[in-house]
């Protein structure tokens, strides 16, 4: 067993490229280092890449994008959780300290593998001479940020890390400095208003309706409505058994993450809302009573969504249709192990309805048979009904739940929160980024949903009148017109990167809708990061010296007990993050709680960051 | 699953103790011996997770051209010669000339020599028969293809748009950088341009509402807003998403609606690195330039000495410096004799008649560890050193501070099995090149160190059927010694039989070094049979994984061999 | 099933090695092949190359017709009732008897093609990869490929008799 030096990192820091930066250097000194950086640029490996290019890391929970600043596209994109496509972290964390610690250890090991591979395999560059811009999602948990910083500084020894808000960077890539940015990623959809470069964090709104939820939903739908044809049982059998007679329900094992991902990214799209005004009116005329009566009673926000229409269709088909609507059915079907018995007729009805409205073709997909049934005779066939391809994404547009607003509602909720004088500007500069909006048709559909959500209560009088007509025992309370305040904004709604903008409502919308450059939604944040790097700006920069310095300090000033770490070594290592890493959630605190020397430091700190941007 | 053993690398951790093996995270700290390095300076094991990696050269894996590092950047880490990947199946593409004009009866025509190709040339995939002419890429000459394609890449819409964005934002930053030259500006107030200040401070620090944390800048905010209105022109996109989407957009939805097979749409991996809106169709994919690879040298993270240094030439697979742990630490192989015996039996008896899958399953059950039994296992130590060594084994001690209540409970629940290891030190013969060619039989008399087989079969394992099992040396030949240990699995045990084992060995040191660098917590020095003054000691942790415990109502007979 | 009566017709220019296993009624045109198995008759056209370990089986009663200039690589297994011209079946590929091949098709290495219903591959179909993906080849480069194949056959015709004992058909 080796006698490892007690503070190996300290030694490393001295030996690396900035000999001036001893751990004893004060903050002022470290800002001098920034000024002296041209010096080391000329001395250190000048030929290789030109060291002023920074590395832009956009680490998602699922997919990472990495590359160099100043380039229009990333060098590499990969699944961080391995080829199986599972995400590195989820929205949940273990509650028990021991489990949580274990979870963190696994996460750290995986992140370390990813980060090392980024430098050594994707970018083929020396991390010690590369500044890093970390594209940071505003809701990225602090402990994950901390782990990443620790790996980058200690294991890879990068000279500095800048943290930049992903939403702001995405907006930059659209050429704007003001806008309402919806990031619809894997775990969450998050809306952040930005005014004149300033993210208005207190108005941030989020919903778990995002890529992961869509995957679950596709899986649930396929388990119920998909068809699976297993491969032939043996090669020699002269079978010619018609496929129809061999087809069975989809075994759960067939629907691996990979298969679901392939379905989601290759063959799914988002159809138009089913009830356009004209046809909706026609259906109203056909079945006025039940269509209104089947509205879920407790969800005023749901009101006119297509599920009333769903229910209308359904109640024609099957008279014993329970009144609690397709909405809840679809929600239930999100659970993979759902019970088929009670909800089946309703879901079936929903499927019938979607199927009738969908002209999308069924797709035959070749899939690996479940491991238990490997016969060595090739792959099975999974038949994905066309309506699932078209309607799976409905789950993202179903609102009404207080905790899980639809992606349209989450935008409107944010608009309700922002100062009144900003609403008009923000409503006309909506930007949609993230991986999920890569679904063809997503953005136009979102636009339609926004319009509908705002204008839907226009006929709320009739819908609130309906229950009494239908003689429901429980009268519905008068619908709360949540978005009434936004209705005047209706002509202003414009999505910057809408590929097929509707006829604009007015000049403002016309000047904005579809005017963003044609970068893909998923890549906007990365491109913005590259842009920020090329412009020599890019957010709070944390130097390694400062990190080392903070790490060397005893954790006496660590008066905020975070996740309790058991080993003293670990808690000592996690302490610098609290004082050094930027964290917007702590900024608004008036007395600058955690690190004691905050107020004097803050004054010196911000300008030094600005200066870094100038100096690069 | 075959039993296996892995070696612990502390990766500069403060604690020298390995993590308890039942934690899933512990698997990241243990590595197979062939993946480990050894730093002679620090006298420590190093792994791929902790070494510092440096690029010592770039090369194209296809043409093996060594790319000078200066041009790597410009070529975006890709081969700038003739190497391309098929966008469809990722096979390498070959350059082929066009077919000669087809005769009416070309099939019957005599063999014509087509070595002299005719332009246009195109890239062709031998595997999936994709060719670049499908996407209208052809070449006038069969060399320097990347250069011929360069003009397309330079005019890629995303880079043009990117430059335009840069130009759009640059004036504000230029204004700010000129302001830094102002003599009055202290380092804290360099930004006189309010926009830049807002830009950088917003990027730098996040502001609640429109207000700012620093009361000093209150007034600035007001000016920001005004300035925004006045000075900030709207960005005019070079290609608006609406126009670009004329190709995709609605068309994509229609394409998908009428899709016939999945293959028509490019997969996510085929298009996810595009930052520009591109058509979804697989038939629009462009050939990819082959990414370069690098030869890496590796350094000890602690003392910075080089552990691995490859030869510069891309064709060479040799190393100038290669300090791998396999040359320093004894290699250990773990086997379960009862599983092997069962396997042999099965091979002999049921070679036929059983389907492959069933046989595999049977093998698994036969080699299983069944709760309520005890099994012996063999550890074969192979000495890589030219001197004989003495090895002592010990179960890993759990350091005091790691046994917290929850963890201790966890441990108690999981590791209910009992491990017995030989307690005495045992010798392993020296390595000599000759061993590699030796037959298995002629071994004992070559024993150099003269240490006899330990008769310390001291511990007699208790066994349910009265059969005795030895814990001690089983076999010793050449530079390999096999010792036997025993695991006792109680009836209620579950999970994996996985335990940490401390291996300490004493070796003769050629060049005496300061003694402080040896031994972290190894008591074996006092016990070594061969205590010469120049003897040194090294110990390392391993994890032994014997497989998972099977629970069975009535144990299978074959398993009790 | 009546006992298979062996009847081999081998063109005088065809090269068939002695250790090739032939069963049933087999007609081989000019070219070089080895080893098929029983059932209905098999007719192999000229210029075909059938490599070591390739298995060609006719599972049906009617005549299995294999056109000209086909290449059956090492260890492949073909049961297609009809095979057109200029096809390539790569190493260890397996083609089931429900699949018929027209011309210029390529079955990639190791691919297993088991359509559940009878199917006719279009000209220039390429099947490749672990999931037996399909493409339609543009056909560019086919002249060169066929040239190469004919050179290949020519070379084998020259070299094989030097190292193998040859088999003669019943007719000759």
pLDDT tens column, B335-373: 888 877 777 777 776 554 444 445 555 555 666 778 778
Q: Taking 90 as the threshold, does the pLDDT of residue A222 lie above it? A: yes
What does the pLDDT average to over A148-175? 92
Q: CA nearest C77 in A: which residue?
A: A235
Report the CATH number at residue C119.
2.160.10.10
Neighbors of chain B by Cβ distance (3+ pairs < 8 Å): A, C
Quick one: pLDDT at residue A147? 93
Quick one: pLDDT at residue A210? 92
Nearest-CA neighbor of B114 among B127, B126, B100, B129?
B100
Per residue in A69-98, pLDDT tens? 988 889 999 998 877 777 888 888 888 888
The C-alpha atoms of residue A504 and residue A506 are separated, in whole angstroms, by 6
Q: CA nearest B404 in A: which residue?
A: A566
Lowest mean pLDDT among A167-176, A381-390, B509-518: B509-518
The band of C169, judged by pLDDT with boundaries at 50, 70 and 90, is low
What are the DSSP calls for C55-109, one per residue?
EE---SSSPEEE-SS-EE-TT-EE--SEE-SS-EE-TT-EE-TTEEE-SS-EE-T
Please indicate, yes or no, if residue C88 is contained in any of the structural domains: yes
Angle at the Cα of B479 from the Cα atoms of B478 and B485, rounded to 5 degrees: 105
Q: Taking 50 as the threshold, does the pLDDT of residue A318 lie above it? A: no
Q: Taking 70 as the threshold, does the pLDDT of residue C160 lie above it? A: yes
Which of A361, A389, A610 should we substitute to test contact with B (largest number of B Cβ atoms within 10 Å)? A610
Å between B355 CA and nearest CA of chain A: 11
Map out the domains of chain A with their CATH numbers: 52-173+523-615 (3.30.420.40), 179-208+405-516 (3.30.420.40), 212-394 (no CATH)
Collapsing DSSP to helix, strand or coil, B294 comes out as: strand
Question: Between these two residues, C61 and A337, which has the higher pLDDT value?
Answer: C61
Spatial contact of A531 and A54, defined as CB atoms under 8 Å apart: no
Judged by CB atoms closer than 8 Å, whether chains meet at C138 and B100 is answered as no
Judged by CB atoms closer than 8 Å, whether chains meet at C116 and A366 is answered as no
B252: contact with A, CB 8 A cutoff:
yes
Tokens 């040799």 — which residue? B318
Please indicate, yes or no, if residue C58 is contained in any of the structural domains: yes
Per residue in B160-199, pLDDT tens? 889 899 888 887 666 555 443 333 333 333 333 445 555 5
Q: Where are any strands of DSSP class E within A73-203?
A: 76-79, 132-136, 160-165, 179-184, 189-195, 198-199
Tokens describing residue A567: 């080993």
What does the pLDDT average to over B117-145? 86
Q: CA nearest B518 in A: which residue?
A: A2
Å between B296 CA and nearest CA of chain A: 8
What does the pLDDT average to over B487-496? 79
Q: CA nearest A438 in B: which residue?
A: B277
Q: Which of A235, A239, A366 sits opposite C116 (nearest CB)?
A: A239
Judged by CB atoms closer than 8 Å, whether chains meet at A98 and B58 is answered as no
Judged by CB atoms closer than 8 Å, whether chains meet at B263 and C135 is answered as yes
Judged by CB atoms closer than 8 Å, whether chains meet at C116 and A232 is answered as yes
Judged by CB atoms closer than 8 Å, whether chains meet at B106 and C143 is answered as yes
Q: CA nearest C104 in B: which residue?
A: B129
B135: contact with C, CB 8 A cutoff:
no
Spatial contact of A597 and B192, defined as CB atoms under 8 Å apart: no
> DSSP label at B276?
B
Collapsing DSSP to helix, strand or coil, C119 comes out as: strand
The C-alpha atoms of residue A446 and residue A442 are separated, in whole angstroms, by 6
Q: CA nearest C94 in A: which residue?
A: A235
Quick one: pLDDT at residue C6? 67
Lowest mean pLDDT among A177-181, A318-322, C77-81, C151-155: A318-322
Q: CA nearest C89 in B: which residue?
A: B127
Q: Taking 50 as the threshold, does the pLDDT of residue B220 lie above it? A: no
Please indicate, yes or no, if residue C92 is contained in any of the structural domains: yes
Neighbors of chain A by Cβ distance (3+ pairs < 8 Å): B, C
The mean of the pLDDT values for chain A is 72
Q: CA nearest A364 in B: which residue?
A: B261
Residue A95, C-beta contacts closer than 8 angstroms, at least 6 positions apart: none
Q: CA nearest B41 in A: which residue?
A: A2
Nearest-CA neighbor of B536 among B504, B496, B499, B492?
B504
Q: Which of C68, C128, C151 sits opposite B127 (nearest CB)?
A: C128
Contacts of A607 in chain B (CB under 8 A): 187-191
Give the number of residues written for chain B.
561
Please indicate, yes or no, if residue C78 is contained in any of the structural domains: yes
The band of B511, judged by pLDDT with boundaries at 50, 70 and 90, is low
Where b means 16+ CB within 10 Å and e means fewer, A148-170 reads: bbbbbbbbbbbbbbbbbbbbbbb
Q: How many CB atoms lie within 10 A of CB B484?
A: 22
Question: Between these two residues, A89 and B208, which has the higher pLDDT value?
Answer: A89
Please indicate, yes or no, if residue C113 is contained in any of the structural domains: yes
Judged by CB atoms closer than 8 Å, whether chains meet at B129 and C133 is answered as no
Q: Which of B15, B302, B522 sits opposite A5 (nearest CB)?
A: B302
Lowest mean pLDDT among A408-412, A488-492, B221-225, B497-501: B221-225
Question: Between these two residues, C69 and B557, which has the higher pLDDT value?
Answer: C69
What does the pLDDT average to over A417-435? 91
Judged by CB atoms closer than 8 Å, whether chains meet at A241 and C116 is answered as yes
Spatial contact of B85 and B289, defined as CB atoms under 8 Å apart: yes
Collapsing DSSP to helix, strand or coil, A346 comes out as: helix
Per residue in A31-48, pLDDT tens? 333 333 333 333 333 334
The mean of the pLDDT values for chain B is 72
Contacts of C150 in chain B (CB under 8 A): 111
Collapsing DSSP to helix, strand or coil, A358 comes out as: coil
Lowest mean pLDDT among A75-79, A180-184, C112-116: C112-116
What does the pLDDT average to over A406-432? 92
Quick one: pLDDT at residue A530? 93
Which of B127, B129, B134 should we substitute to test contact with C (largest number of C Cβ atoms within 10 Å)? B129
Interface of B with A in 394-413 (CB under 8 A): 401-402, 404, 406-407, 410
Q: Taking 90 as the threshold, does the pLDDT of residue A55 lie above it? A: yes
Q: Which of A124, A168, A390 sits opposite B202 (nearest CB)?
A: A168
Please indicate, yes or no, if residue C38 is contained in any of the structural domains: yes
Q: CA nearest C98 in A: which residue?
A: A240
Which of C45, C88, C103, C140 should we substitute to test contact with B (largest number of B Cβ atoms within 10 Å)? C140
Nearest-CA neighbor of A262 among B257, B273, B278, B265?
B265
What does the pLDDT average to over B94-115? 62
Contacts of A377 in chain C (CB under 8 A): 112, 114
Per residue in A367-402, pLDDT tens? 888 877 766 677 888 999 999 999 999 999 987 777
The C-alpha atoms of residue A130 and residue B2 are separated, in whole angstroms, by 43
Å between C108 CA and nearest CA of chain B: 7
Quick one: pLDDT at residue B2? 79
Quick one: pLDDT at residue B331? 93
Å between B166 CA and nearest CA of chain A: 7
Based on the structure, what is the number of domains in chain C? 1
Tokens describing residue B339: 């599983």
Please indicate, yes or no, if residue C170 is contained in any of the structural domains: no
Per residue in B412-444, pLDDT tens? 555 567 888 888 888 898 888 776 665 554 444
Interface of B with A in 297-356 (CB under 8 A): 301-302, 304
Give, for B541, the enclosing helix (H) or strand (E). strand B535-550
Q: CA nearest B403 in A: which residue?
A: A566
Asked, as a colleague might, if the bond just before B120 is cis with ω within 30 of 0, I would say: yes
Q: Are strands B293-299 and B30-31 parallel, antiparallel or unpaired?
A: unpaired
Lowest mean pLDDT among A316-325, B211-220, B332-341, B413-422: A316-325
> DSSP label at A232?
P
Contacts of C147 in chain B (CB under 8 A): 111-112, 114
Contacts of B244 in chain A (CB under 8 A): 499, 518
Please indicate, yes or no, if residue C120 is contained in any of the structural domains: yes
Give the domain extent around C112: 7-163
Judged by CB atoms closer than 8 Å, whether chains meet at B157 and A518 is answered as yes
Where b means 16+ CB within 10 Å and e means fewer, B123-153 reads: bbbbbbbbbbbbbebbbeebeebbeebeeee
SS3 of chain B: helix, strand, coil, percent, to 5: 30, 25, 45
Question: Between these two residues, B508 and B555, which has the higher pLDDT value?
Answer: B508
B126: contact with C, CB 8 A cutoff:
no
Percent of chain B with pLDDT over 90: 15
Judged by CB atoms closer than 8 Å, whether chains meet at C129 and B102 is answered as no
- Number of cross-chain residue pairs from B and C with Cβ atoms under 8 Å apart: 59
Quick one: pLDDT at residue B226? 42
What does the pLDDT average to over C117-121? 85
Q: Taking 60 as the threshold, does the pLDDT of residue B223 lie above it? A: no
Quick one: pLDDT at residue B34? 92
Quick one: pLDDT at residue B173? 66
The band of A153, judged by pLDDT with boundaries at 50, 70 and 90, is very high
Q: How many CB atoms lie within 10 A of CB A36?
A: 13
Quick one: pLDDT at residue C56? 85
Contacts of C97 in chain A (CB under 8 A): 238
Neighbors of chain C by Cβ distance (3+ pairs < 8 Å): A, B
Contacts of A568 in chain B (CB under 8 A): 401
What does the pLDDT average to over B121-136? 89
The band of A539, judged by pLDDT with boundaries at 50, 70 and 90, is confident
Collapsing DSSP to helix, strand or coil, B45 comes out as: strand
The band of B25, judged by pLDDT with boundaries at 50, 70 and 90, is confident
Q: Which of A11, A112, A126 sits opposite B55 (nearest CB)?
A: A126
Q: Which of A9, A517, A606 sits opposite B237 (nearest CB)?
A: A517
Contacts of C69 in chain B (CB under 8 A): 107
Residue A182's alpha-carbon distances to A138, A168, A408, A437, A496, in angstroms, are 12, 11, 10, 10, 11
Q: Taking 90 as the threshold, does the pLDDT of residue B320 lie above it? A: yes
Quick one: pLDDT at residue B490? 80
């Amino acid at each position: 067993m080796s006698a490892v030096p007690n503070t190996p990192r300290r030694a490393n820091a001295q030996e690396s490229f900035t000999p001036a930066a001893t751990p004893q250097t004060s903050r002022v000194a470290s800002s001098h280092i920034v000024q002296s950086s041209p010096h080391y640029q000329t001395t250190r490996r000048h030929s290789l890449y030109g060291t002023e290019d920074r590395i832009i890391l956009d680490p998602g929970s699922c997919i990472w994008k990495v590359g160099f600043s100043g380039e229009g596209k990333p060098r590499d994109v990969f699944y961080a959780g391995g080829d199986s496509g599972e995400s590195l972290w989820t929205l949940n964390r273990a509650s028990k300290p021991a489990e949580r610690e274990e979870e963190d250890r696994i996460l750290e090991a995986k992140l370390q593998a990813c980060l090392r591979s980024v430098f050594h395999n994707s970018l083929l560059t020396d991390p010690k001479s590369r500044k890093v811009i970390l594209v940071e999602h505003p809701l990225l948990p602090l402990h994950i940020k901390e782990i990443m910083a620790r790996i980058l500084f200690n294991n890879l020894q990068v000279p500095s890390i800048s943290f930049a808000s992903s939403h702001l960077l995405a907006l930059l890539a659209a050429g704007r400095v003001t806008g309402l940015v919806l990031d619809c990623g894997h775990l969450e959809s998050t809306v952040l208003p930005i005014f004149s470069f300033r993210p208005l964090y207190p108005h941030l709104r989020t919903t778990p309706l995002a890529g992961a939820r869509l995957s679950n939903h596709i899986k649930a739908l396929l388990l119920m409505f998909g068809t699976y044809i297993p491969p032939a049982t043996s090669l020699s059998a002269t079978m010619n058994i018609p496929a129809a007679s061999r087809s069975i329900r989809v075994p759960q094992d067939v629907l691996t993450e990979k298969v679901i991902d392939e379905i989601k990214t290759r063959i799914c799209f988002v159809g138009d809302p089913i009830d356009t005004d004209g046809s909706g009116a026609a259906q109203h005329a056909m079945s006025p009573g039940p269509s209104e009566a089947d509205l879920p009673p407790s969800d005023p926000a749901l009101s006119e969504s297509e599920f009333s229409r769903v229910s209308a269709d359904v109640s024609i088909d099957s008279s014993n249709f329970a009144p609690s609507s397709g909405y809840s059915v679809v929600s239930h079907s999100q659970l993979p192990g759902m019970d088929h018995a009670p909800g089946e007729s309703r879901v079936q009805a929903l499927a019938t309805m979607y199927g009738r409205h969908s002209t999308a073709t069924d797709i035959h997909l070749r899939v690996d048979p479940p491991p238990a049934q490997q016969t060595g005779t090739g792959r099975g066939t999974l038949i994905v009904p066309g309506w699932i391809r078209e309607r799976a994404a409905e789950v993202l547009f179903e609102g009404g739940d207080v905790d899980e607003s639809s992606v349209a509602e989450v935008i409107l909720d944010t608009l309700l929160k922002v100062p009144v004088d900003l609403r008009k500007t923000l409503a006309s500069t909506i930007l949609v980024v993230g991986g999920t909006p890569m679904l063809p048709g997503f953005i136009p559909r979102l636009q339609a949903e926004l319009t509908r959500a705002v204008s839907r209560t226009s006929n709320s009088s009739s819908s609130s009148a309906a229950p009494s007509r239908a003689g429901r025992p429980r009268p519905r309370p008068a619908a709360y017109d949540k978005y009434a305040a936004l209705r005047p904004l209706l002509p202003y709604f414009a999505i910057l990167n809408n590929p097929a903008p509707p006829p604009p409502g007015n000049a403002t919308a016309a000047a904005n809708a579809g005017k963003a450059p044609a970068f893909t939604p998923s890549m906007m944040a990365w491109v913005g990061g590259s842009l920020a790097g090329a412009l020599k700006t890019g957010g709070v920069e944390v130097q390694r010296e400062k990190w080392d310095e903070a790490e060397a300090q005893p954790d006496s000033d660590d008066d905020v007990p975070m996740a309790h770490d058991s080993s003293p070594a670990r808690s000592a290592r996690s302490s610098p993050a609290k004082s050094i890493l930027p964290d917007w959630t702590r900024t608004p605190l008036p007395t600058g709680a955690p690190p004691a020397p905050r107020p004097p430091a803050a004054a010196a700190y911000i300008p030094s960051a600005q200066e870094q941007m100038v100096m690069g | 699953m075959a039993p296996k053993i892995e070696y612990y690398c502390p990766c500069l951790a403060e604690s020298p103790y390995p993590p308890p093996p039942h934690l899933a995270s512990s698997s990241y700290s243990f590595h197979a011996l062939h993946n480990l390095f050894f730093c002679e300076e620090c006298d420590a094991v190093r792994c791929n997770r902790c070494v510092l990696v440096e690029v010592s050269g770039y090369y194209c894996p296809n043409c093996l051209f060594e790319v000078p590092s200066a041009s790597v950047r410009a070529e975006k880490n890709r081969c700038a010669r003739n190497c391309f990947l098929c966008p469809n199946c990722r096979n390498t593409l070959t350059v082929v000339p066009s077919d000669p004009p087809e005769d009416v009866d070309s099939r019957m025509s005599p063999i014509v020599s087509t070595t002299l190709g005719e332009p246009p040339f195109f890239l062709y995939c031998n595997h999936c028969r994709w060719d670049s002419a499908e996407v209208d890429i052809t070449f006038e000459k069969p060399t320097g293809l990347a250069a011929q394609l360069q003009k397309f890449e330079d005019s890629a819409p995303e880079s043009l748009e990117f430059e335009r964005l840069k130009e759009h934002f640059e004036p504000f930053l230029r204004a700010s950088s000129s302001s830094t030259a102002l003599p009055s500006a202290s380092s804290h107030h360099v930004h006189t341009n309010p926009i830049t200040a807002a830009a950088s401070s917003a990027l730098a620090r996040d502001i609640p509402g429109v207000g700012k944390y620093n009361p000093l800048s209150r007034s600035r905010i007001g000016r920001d807003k005004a300035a925004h209105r006045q000075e900030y022109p709207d960005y005019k996109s070079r290609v608006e998403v609406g126009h670009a989407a004329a190709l995709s957009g609605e068309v994509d939805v229609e394409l998908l609606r009428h899709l016939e097979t999945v293959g028509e749409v490019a997969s996510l991996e085929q298009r996810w690195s595009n930052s520009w809106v591109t058509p979804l169709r697989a038939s629009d994919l462009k050939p990819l330039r082959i990414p370069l690879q690098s030869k890496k040298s590796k350094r000890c993270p602690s003392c910075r000495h080089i552990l691995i240094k490859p030869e510069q030439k891309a064709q060479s697979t040799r190393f100038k410096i290669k300090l791998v742990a396999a040359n320093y630490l004894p290699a250990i192989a773990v086997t379960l004799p009862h599983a092997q015996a069962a396997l042999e039996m099965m091979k002999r008896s049921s070679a036929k008649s059983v389907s492959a899958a069933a046989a595999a399953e049977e093998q698994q059950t036969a080699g299983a560890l069944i709760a309520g039994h005890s099994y012996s296992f063999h550890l074969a130590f192979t000495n890589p050193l030219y001197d004989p060594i003495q090895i002592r084994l010990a179960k890993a001690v759990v350091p005091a501070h790691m046994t917290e209540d929850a963890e201790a409970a966890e441990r108690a629940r999981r590791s209910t099995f009992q491990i017995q290891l030989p307690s005495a030190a045992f010798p392993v013969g020296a390595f000599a090149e000759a061993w590699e060619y030796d037959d298995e039989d002629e071994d004992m008399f070559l024993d150099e160190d003269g240490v006899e087989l330990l008769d310390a079969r001291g511990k007699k394992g208790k066994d349910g059927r009265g059969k005795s099992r030895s814990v001690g040396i089983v076999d010793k030949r050449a530079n390999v010694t096999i010792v036997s240990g025993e695991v006792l699995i109680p009836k209620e045990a579950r999970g994996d039989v996985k335990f940490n084992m401390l291996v300490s060995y004493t070796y003769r040191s050629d060049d005496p070094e300061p003694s402080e660098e040896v031994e972290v917590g190894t008591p074996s020095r006092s016990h070594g049979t061969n205590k010469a003054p120049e003897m040194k000691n090294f110990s390392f942790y391993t994890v032994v994984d014997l497989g998972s415990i099977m629970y069975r109502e009535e144990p299978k007979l074959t398993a009790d061999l | 099933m009546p006992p298979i009566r062996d009847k081999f017709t081998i063109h005088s220019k065809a090269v068939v090695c002695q250790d090739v296993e032939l069963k049933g009624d087999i007609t081989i045109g000019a070219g070089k092949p080895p080893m098929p198995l029983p059932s209905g008759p098999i007719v192999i056209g000229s210029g075909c190359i059938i490599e070591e370990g390739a298995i060609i089986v006719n599972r049906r009663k009617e005549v299995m017709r294999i056109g000209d200039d086909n290449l059956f690589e090492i260890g492949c297994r073909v049961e297609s009732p009809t095979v057109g011209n200029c096809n390539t079946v790569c190493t260890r590929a397996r083609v089931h008897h429900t699949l018929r091949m027209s011309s210029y098709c390529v079955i990639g290495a190791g691919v297993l093609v088991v359509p559940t219903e009878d199917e006719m591959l279009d000209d220039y179909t390429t099947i490749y990869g672990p999931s037996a993906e399909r493409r339609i080849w543009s056909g560019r480069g086919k002249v060169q490929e066929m040239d190469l194949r004919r050179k290949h056959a020519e070379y084998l015709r020259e070299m094989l008799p030097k190292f193998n004992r040859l088999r003669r058909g019943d007719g000759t």
